[in-house]
Structure 1
Amino acid sequence: MKSSRLIAFKKSGARFDEQRLIWLNGQWIRSLSLDDLYSRCQPFWGEESKNADESYKKRVLELAQDRLKTLQDLPKLTSYFFVEPEIDTELIDGNKQLRKLTDDERRDFIVNCSPRIRENYRLDARNNSELP
């Protein structure tokens, strides 16, 4: 008769690797189809996205899908698509050239540059299919 040996068990609980679980969850999210992910995300959209239409939300979700680790990350990763950014005057005041301008000159500068920036963005979007 062969002798059998019990495997040594420890009294402490099982080791739980939370980082591995988050990584695994992110892999699962990336494997979902966009429509399936969209339906699962409904309760997780932030307050700022409640008035957005479905097609826009799907486009935003498509951009965020590779970065999502949990569905709870959705509002944090997508909120800037639904709200206007606040103007940070520190960026202007910290620039040597721009801080010399008066408020009216700054406003004129932004108004004059905005159409050019939009046009450049449109040109980039035509040449790069990954841009929205």
Structure 2
Amino acid sequence: MQEVSEPQRADAANSLVYEANVRLRDPVYGCMGAISALQQQIQTLQAELNAVRAEILRYKYREAANSIIASTNAALAVSVAELPQAPPTPTPSQTAREAAPPPSVVISSTSSAPALYASPSSTASYSSISNNHIPFFD
């Protein structure tokens, strides 16, 4: 105690008393056990703080993305409003009256109408599908 300067002697005495009390509670590790526990607590709290900061960043980026999307949609709405208006769509009865006559179709004697609308001659067989080159559960 005599090697410690006089203003620090009270702190040194308190430190010795604290270390002695901790050594009574934990004879193996003493103060180092308390220091280690406090360091682990600091690491846990730092990890929690980092997780909260990451969550805040995700929230800010999501908010920024939503505002960008909203402003883009607003700009597109203005752009669409400035486009020239399309003519009104005619009703079916107007279309039938105003439509030009259909073009004439020439059908040769070798073709027949049923052949134009015939269903395909072969059908797909799903049993022929293989999965040799698909890496499932490798």
Q: Normalization by structure 2: what TM-score? A: 0.20
Q: Which has the higher contact order (CA 8 A, sep 6+)?
A: 1
When Rg is computed on C-alpha atoms for both structures, the one with the higher figure is 2
